[in-house]
Amino acid sequence: MEQQQISSYLLKSGIRPLQKRVKIMSYLVSKRNHPTVDMIYSDLIHEINGLSKTTIYNVLNLFVQSGVTLALNIEGNEIRYDADTSTHGHFKCKICTGVIDFRIKQEDLPKPALDGFRIDEHHYYLKGVCSFCANKIEA
């Protein structure tokens, strides 16, 4: 997706498409790597002169509040971010620490009987060992 498309997407979502916001969203959309703030910082610091980590926190919090980004809490001490807000699950590998998406349909998720509850977010996480790391262990 090009910067222009990102800009109009942000605008449509009620977010002023400032330069750094566009760059950060662009990073999330193109990399699709469920990054931590540190990962974003170390990748974008080369590209954006004088970028601050606080800015990344600010922008991501804005994105999450505006609903254009999901905050993933898979492992206790880190938040990962995902610009794909469609229904899908996440698998985290214990060995390589990578997070990958898997498709699930909204209607396939079990609907518990929670009368009178308002449900805003669904999170379905799996943890284990990915096929790549499993093969390495075998060998």
Residues in touch with DNA (CB under 7 A): 16, 18-21, 36-38, 48, 50-55, 57-59, 61, 76-79
| Tokens 């699709």 sit on residue | 32
CA-nearest of 122, 127, 79, 131 to 104 is: 122
The answer to whether residues 94 and 128 touch, using CB atoms and an 8 Å cutoff, is yes
**Interacting residue ranges for its own copies, rule: CB under 8 A:** 71, 73-76, 78-79, 89, 91, 94, 102-105, 108-110, 112-131, 134-135
* Shortest CB 112 distance to DNA, Å: 26
Binding partner selected for residue 20 from its own copies, DNA, none, CB under the kind-specific 5 to 8 Å limit: DNA
Q: Considering beta carbons, is residue 62 or 133 the nearer one to DNA? A: 62
| Inter-residue contact 70 to 82 (CB < 8 Å) | yes
In the structure encoding, which two tokens stand for residue 90, read together?
């996440």
